[in-house]
Amino acid sequence: MVSNTPAAPHPHGPTLLPPLRLSQHLLVWGWYLSLALWVTYPLITNLHTHLPAIPGEAGHDVWQHVWNFWWVQQALVVQPSNPFQTDMIFYPHGTALWLHSLNLPLAGPALLLLPLVGQTATYNLITLLALVLAGYSTFLLAHYVIRAALPATPPTSITAGAVVAGAVVLCSPQRLWELRLAQLAGISDFAIPLLMLTLLWALHRRTWGAAWLVAGVVLIGGLSKWYNLFYAALALLPLLTVRLWTAGRQGTLRAELWQWARLALTSMIILAPFLIPSLREARTASFDVPTVRGADLLRLVVTDWQWVLRPVPPEWWEPSAFAGLALLLAAVGVALARRAVILWLVIGLWCFVLALGPTLNFGMREVAFPLPYAALQALPLVELFRVPYRMNAITTMMLAILAAAGIALLLQRGPRPVAWAGAVGLSLLLLAEAARIPFPQTAAAVSPFYAQLGAEPGAWSIIELPHERMDRQFLEMYTQTYHGKYILTGKTSRDPPRLPHEAIPALARINRGDPRPDIVQLGSATEAQIWQALRPRYLVLHRGRRTIRQHAAAQAILGDLTRVYSDTMLEAYRIEAMAAWLDQQPERVPLPVFVGLDRDWENLEDGASRWLLGAQTATLLAYTPEPARLTLDLTMYALATDQSIEVWLNGAYVQTLSVTADELRRYRTAALALPAGQSRIELRVLGAGTVPAMRGQGDDPRPLAVNVRGVAVRLLSP
């Protein structure tokens, strides 16, 4: 039982952990687990069959997070290798995963669960663990802060307040909203309150051991998600400012600077093996969401109360940041504790302002009013962190501390049963405000064909078409966890340099269900080398309007196909020529240099030609396994009037080609220096084009400018 006698002040500050028995810590864990089970209900009843996410595109990240645990198991247990590098996706080029949110701290317990309960149940249990850890780590921080700021407060009321603090974070609307969107890495931020806790303790202890403990927590936060360290660093700026200012007034500035330098040094040492390659990857990875998303001022507090007592539809979501009760309890804490919690109020306000992003947002509309985050965007690497609204997760943690202080002071004169009843009652009210039941679920089942593939030995890939189906990258990663074979696609936290397999001419022809030759001319030897480099044994066609034509095109291009599986969703074929070659267990064949068409070209015309329209940009995707120099031979003519075409390479201007009207000629580009991997070669038409329908030359309403009949690659010596 917790003593109600206030603890005596300690010369080095409070102890790191609350003075509770192990059974009491386990009781707190059990309470948070109960809350987690309620806010995710009925997940616990479908532990082996469903995953917590809005069905469809909104929750597609769930497939990627399941893949993360599978891949870590493959890399660390099945075939030991570097988990931050893989060729299982984006085969055969592969990709680095230093910037990808593998969530290694939670992958550790996942490795223990996978062989015991299976993949789906493991993911669900880890999700519950992430919620519990968020609550428990906040409990520890709040307990420490109140013991330090209000040492005369009885331990029972401190513990009761800290329990509510954990519930504020665990049941926060923003956290549950992100979980509905399958943002497991986003809610795995338990290291942030742990970092604040160990940092405060280390600043009191002033030892190297304490500094190394902080560094260990920093590593956990970074390996969960690099965002965590960025957000934590911003949140700690007010603490650093206050301590340096106080030390300056007391004449201990040098000693204080040394403490912070020691903490920074140990953290950088332990982070360096992971941070250095991550920064190197950041120079090559692109960002698929260039916009910065700040918090919306009209969506800060839960307002949709109609669903508290009514079942919510699976697609429901409300992007609110805070619970009204949490704000009320925080206000009570500020009113009662005043100066004791002023630092945490300042940190909370600072994080809230940063969460608004570079400009104000009202109802999804931006207002041209610059905010502090706009200045941060000028700093190096800040572009990596595109969602400042997530700073409100730390704002919620600060609200939790303020609420804990107020509750501790309110309950300090009452008996222990009242304190515990207050903690339980307030936690349940927070649960009632934020929980929306039933929590959305996505069925975890896949076609039996993928497990069938998993039982077949060999190192080869499968190709799935069409390329345009929704969430293709995520779903192929998920099904890979069943079959374990290479896939050509994938999705990581950043878009890495990769093989543009969709542009491979033969594969593009199969995908559109049209075996006719296209304008890109690779040659039979180059095409054969590409197929051998890809090593496809099976072709999977997901049923749709082009399935029959895709099958016919595949037979025309790949030869004999044997159907090995069929159901209402897909049909699968063994590529006999490739299977016979793979059965010989050949060595890997390198990819050759090739060029293909991106999706911004007009449709293929009869006679293997494509039109460039007036003022249009059409893109060629080139792949080179290593840096190379080449030229392109473009066979084309302009319609009616001469045209000018600018050639751009990876966003840089190269030259302008003058194309003669109505005269089919071959035009050779200047030498193009391509880096290893994918390059984009843009052909930008400067003229307006001619509309045949307006000239009485047919009914084509398009502004036709240049007709391209052929694209050939000519390699140059280095």
Query: What would the pLDDT profile of 367-407 be if each residue is shown by its tens digit?
Result: 777 888 888 877 777 766 778 889 999 999 999 999 999 99
Mind listing the pLDDT tens digit for each residue in 470-494? Answer: 899 999 999 999 999 999 999 998 8
pLDDT score at 718:
76
DSSP state of 615: T
Residue 706 tokens read as 């240049």
Predicted local confidence at residue 1, as pLDDT: 42
**Four-point Cα dihedral 667, 673, 678, 681, nearest 10:** -30
Given a cut of 60, is residue 84 above it in pLDDT? yes
Q: Are strands 95-96 and 486-487 parallel, antiparallel or unpaired?
A: unpaired
For residue 239, pLDDT beyond 90 = yes
| One-letter amino acid for residue 459 of the chain | A
Q: Judge whether residue 496 has pLDDT over 90.
A: no
Lowest mean per-residue pLDDT among 16-25, 72-81, 588-597: 16-25
Distances (CA, A) of 240 to 192, 235, 237, 261, 343: 16, 10, 5, 12, 11
Q: Which backbone phi and psi does 564 adopt, to 5 degrees?
A: -115, -10
Cα 99 to Cα 492: distance, rounded to the nearest angstrom? 8
- The token pair that represents 469 in the structure block: 């189906």
The proportion of the chain whose per-residue pLDDT surpasses 70, expressed as a percent, equals 96
d(CA 638, CA 656): 14
Read off the pLDDT of residues 292-314 as tens digits, 9 standing for 90 and up: 678 888 888 877 666 666 788 87
- Inter-residue contact 679 to 621 (CB < 8 Å): yes
Return the exposure string of 264-290: e unless at least 16 CB atoms fall within 10 Å of the residue's CB, then b. eebbeebbeebbebbeebbeebeeeee
Between the alpha carbon of residue 543 and those of residues 481, 551, 568, the distances in Å are: 22, 11, 8
Q: Report whether pLDDT(8) > 50.
A: no
Position 691: which residue type? Answer: V
Q: Averaged over 433-450, what is the pLDDT? A: 93
Q: What token pair was written down for 120?
A: 């789906």
Spatial separation of the C-alpha atoms in residues 506 and 518, rounded to whole Å? 9
Lowest mean pLDDT among 23-32, 116-125, 282-291, 351-360: 282-291
**CA-to-CA dists, residue 209 to 46, 140, 261, 626, angstroms:** 44, 20, 14, 47
Distance CA 146, CA 404 (A): 8
Q: State both tokens at 412.
A: 């300090």
pLDDT (0 to 100) of residue 456: 94
Helix intervals (H) in 251-364 = 253-282, 324-337, 342-355
Q: Is the peptide bond before 42 cis (omega within 30 degrees of 0)?
A: yes
**All residues at 6 or more sequence positions from 399 whose CB lies less than 8 Å from its CB, including other chains:** 168, 322, 326, 327, 329, 330, 348
Residue 285's pLDDT is 60
Confidence of residue 183 (pLDDT cuts 50, 70, 90): very high
pLDDT of residue 11: 47
Start-to-end Cα distance in the chain: 77
> Which one, of 288, 33, 319, lies nearest residue 180 by Cα?
319
- Residue 365 host element (H or E): strand 365-370
CB 618 within 8 A of CB 682: yes
Q: Which of 317-331, 513-527, 567-581 has the largest mean confidence?
A: 567-581
